[in-house]
Structure 1
Amino acid sequence: MTLEPLEPEEAVELYLQDRKSELAKSTQYAHSSRLGHFVRWCNEQGIDNLNELTGRKLHRYRLWRRADGNLAPPTEKSQMDTLRVFIRWCGTIDAVPTDLWSKVVSPSLSEGENSRDVMVDSEVAKGILEYLSTYEYASERHVTFHLMWHALLRRGAVRALDLEDYDSEEMSLDVRHRPETETPIKNKHNGERFIALSSETCTVLDAWIEDRRPDSVDEYGRNPMLSTSQGRAHLTTIQSYIYSITRPCTYDKDCPHDREISECKAAAMRSSASTCPSSLSPHAVRRGAITHWLNSDVPEQVVSARANVSPAVLDEHYDRRTEREKMEQRRRYLDNV
């Protein structure tokens, strides 16, 4: 086999272009970020041609990346899994030996190690919603948190909603995958679904639309549900809403880290909210919401369909009930037998 010279940075660019049509934007970004570390390592090692790669060099990269990022096992696995896919693709364009991908070692995880336990507790969510209802009723943060907690939406689905997707009379949302106008959703067309809403959620949405929502359209002429003065809210904007509202000093007026709130940058600036050790991500809200629904005796298949997640993935990554909690829930059913 004759290899053709190819610089690491150019290879990553070609790889991302080639897979653009099949990867969601969030996945493209993740692959770009992970492979960016590989390009940085190649630059440090003076590797300007992928033809030079060997199994031993790839092993050295793994050790370098582990030490450089102080990576947890699940993170290291995602980094190396992406690299393996990339190296395999490089083999198809004669940049590396076709079997080199098999020498990219990815760590094996013990049962449960690939699941993160960080989540918004139901009592914390209650406090957040009470604060928002009192001080920020029908605000962008109130709408975002409501849709994630009560409708079990991912941030991508929140962003993808248009005004026309909401039916106030039917009390429902129509979640759609529209990649052609830059609002893809997780699982693409398989993620499309109708979601029934509570009267409380509808009241919040109605108030947002009537009184608080910026009257703007996106670049495709669509009317985003979650709009800003510039158009449709960006994913990072939605993430910042969640980071900022999950700071304890926001909804509880207290700091569990003994900081002076008036002097804390994470407390003073929304843009720095993620630096608060107690602020949580949209995924933590989703995980907490799913666990809350399961703890409320909602059948797993109902939660699975509403949240658009398979029962197996729900059990591994989202259900944070203890085995004792599950037993007590089963006991309540046994009382009726």
Structure 2
Amino acid sequence: MSELQAIEPETAIELYLNHRETEVADKTLENITLHLTRFREWCEQEGVDNLNELTGRKLHEYRLWRQKDVARTTLSINLSSLRMFLQWCESIDGVPDGLHETVILPSRDRSEEARDEMLKADHAEQMLQWLRKYEYASRTHALLEVMWHTGIRKGTVRSFDLEDFHPRNKTLETNHRPETDTPLKNGTRGERVIALGDHVVDVLKDYIDIHRREKTDDYGRKPLFTTRYGRIGGTAIKRAVYRVTRPCQWESCPHNRDPDDCEATVDADACKCPSSVSPHPVRRGSITHHLLKDVPDTAVSDRCDVSKDVLDHHYDQRTEHEKAETRRKYIDGI
């Protein structure tokens, strides 16, 4: 067993953040920094000036202190960051071996964070059929066709340049360009070429020919999805998704609301509809739809830039029966 080397919390956190900054996206690093800042504040309050002094009991005291101010889901995310930090501290002899294992993560409140919320395939098809009829090749139509067909993140959607679309090859190319404000969540590891179906290629071509605003962004790049100001922003994408995922777009209101009185019928307040969803449930629904259509999980993992573990834990919303039926198609006849 290695002998512990004294280290102050602030010093350890600074070294750890320097270690992680080349591995994670800027936003992720910001979140980790925030989580560990709270831990540093607690250490100062409790007089912990050497991480060698930490014990499982001390860490439990920190958990009790932190949970007074945050929801269970936030607490779980905070403690997960702390666990990884402590595991790294073990590697530099800053805390006792195995200390990170004493940090027990609370189960996340799925009702609170809507982890299982997703756009279902039948609703997606109704939505797309409506867009194809009433808003064909509009920016919103092109956005939703791409998002549902590929299962990509909101940040990836806004990162596309005109030159990333290759209609002859029927592909979209993702590129990590942090220096010009379009980073990918997983950095260069998220760079890939995404195959497109014929119908998505046609919609994108028509969008570019008819409805795309000819704009450049602040860096002189030509975005694929534009607004009157330049590159589309995350808020505009979110508003578009909320608007077209309201069921009243294609059927009667499932919540028995009077359209004349419902605040969600105003496009700017579409998020107030109980059935409308944000971009991430579109991604989750798309991934689940891919899996239900027998696309191998390794292919879905590569296509949607999500690790197999994360795919299984957070995105695969199939029931156990549906998973069994999918497996049956591979083993029949063996």
TM-score by length of 2: 0.77
Q: Aligned partner of 1:247: which letter? A: R
Residue 150 of structure 1, CA deviation: 0.5
Instruction: Tell me how far apart the structure 2 counterparts of residues 106 and 303 of structure 1 sit (CA, whole Å).
Output: 31
Q: How does 1:139-218 map to 2 (within 5 A)?
A: 139-218=138-217
Are the aligned partners of 1:262 and 1:268 in contact in 2 as well (CA < 8 Å)?
Answer: no
Q: Aligned partner of 1:27: which letter? A: T
SS in 2 for 1:262: coil
- Equivalent in the alignment of 2:261: 263
Distance 1:34 1:274, change over 3 A: farther
Return the match for 2:105 from 84, 107, 113: 107
Residue 222 of structure 1, CA deviation: 0.5
Q: CA RMSD, aligned part only?
A: 4.1
Instruction: Tell me how far apart the structure 1 counterparts of residues 190 and 76 of structure 2 sit (CA, whole Å).
Output: 26
Deviations 1:101-134 (A, max 9, x none): 9699441549x99993221111111111112112
Instruction: Tell me how far apart the structure 1 counterparts of residues 215 and 251 of structure 2 sit (CA, whole Å).
Output: 33
- Equivalent in the alignment of 1:94: none
Residue 203 of structure 1, CA deviation: 1.2
SS in 2 for 1:313: helix
Are the aligned partners of 2:166 and 2:172 in contact in 1 as well (CA < 8 Å)?
Answer: yes
Q: Aligned partner of 1:216: which letter? A: K
Instruction: Tell me how far apart the structure 2 counterparts of residues 260 and 13 of structure 1 sit (CA, whole Å).
Output: 55
Instruction: Tell me how far apart the structure 1 counterparts of residues 68 and 191 of structure 2 sit (CA, whole Å).
Output: 41
Residue 178 of structure 1, CA deviation: 1.4
Deviations 1:247-275 (A, max 9, x none): 3233434142x4333333333142x3334
Are the aligned partners of 1:245 and 1:251 in contact in 2 as well (CA < 8 Å)?
Answer: no
Q: Aligned partner of 2:130: which letter? A: Y
Q: How does 1:216-295 map to 2 (within 5 A)?
A: 216-256=215-255, 258-270=256-268, 272-295=269-292
Q: Aligned partner of 1:309: which letter? A: V
Unaligned runs of 5+ in 1: 91-97
Distance 1:57 1:161, change over 3 A: same
Distance 1:135 1:164, change over 3 A: same
Instruction: Tell me how far apart the structure 1 counterparts of residues 261 and 45 of structure 2 sit (CA, whole Å).
Output: 46
Are the aligned partners of 2:80 and 2:105 in contact in 1 as well (CA < 8 Å)?
Answer: no
Are the aligned partners of 2:264 and 2:270 in contact in 1 as well (CA < 8 Å)?
Answer: yes
Unaligned runs of 5+ in 2: none
Q: Aligned partner of 1:286: which letter? A: R
Instruction: Tell me how far apart the structure 2 counterparts of residues 288 and 125 of structure 1 sit (CA, whole Å).
Output: 9
Deviations 1:39-93 (A, max 9, x none): 9x969xx969996999888756644553544434xx4211223356679999xxx
SS in 2 for 1:209: helix
- Equivalent in the alignment of 1:25: 26
Deviations 1:174-221 (A, max 9, x none): 111111212111221121111111111011111111111121111111
- Equivalent in the alignment of 2:130: 131
Deviations 1:121-169 (A, max 9, x none): 1111111111211222222222222111102211121111110011111
Instruction: Tell me how far apart the structure 2 counterparts of residues 13 and 228 of structure 1 sit (CA, whole Å).
Output: 40
Deviations 1:265-289 (A, max 9, x none): 333142x333433222322111111
Distance 1:322 1:42, change over 3 A: same
SS in 1 for 2:67: helix
Q: Aligned partner of 1:289: which letter? A: S
**Percentage of pairs with the same residue:** 41
SS in 2 for 1:173: strand
Distance 1:175 1:4, change over 3 A: closer
- Equivalent in the alignment of 1:93: none
Residues 1:313 and 2:310 aligned together: yes
Q: Aligned partner of 1:262: which letter? A: D
Residue 27 of structure 1, CA deviation: 1.6
SS in 2 for 1:195: strand
Q: Aligned partner of 2:105: which letter? A: P
Distance 1:115 1:331, change over 3 A: farther
Distance 1:334 1:283, change over 3 A: same
SS in 2 for 1:174: strand
Are the aligned partners of 1:240 and 1:273 in contact in 2 as well (CA < 8 Å)?
Answer: yes
Instruction: Tell me how far apart the structure 2 counterparts of residues 50 and 280 of structure 1 sit (CA, whole Å).
Output: 44
Distance 1:18 1:334, change over 3 A: closer
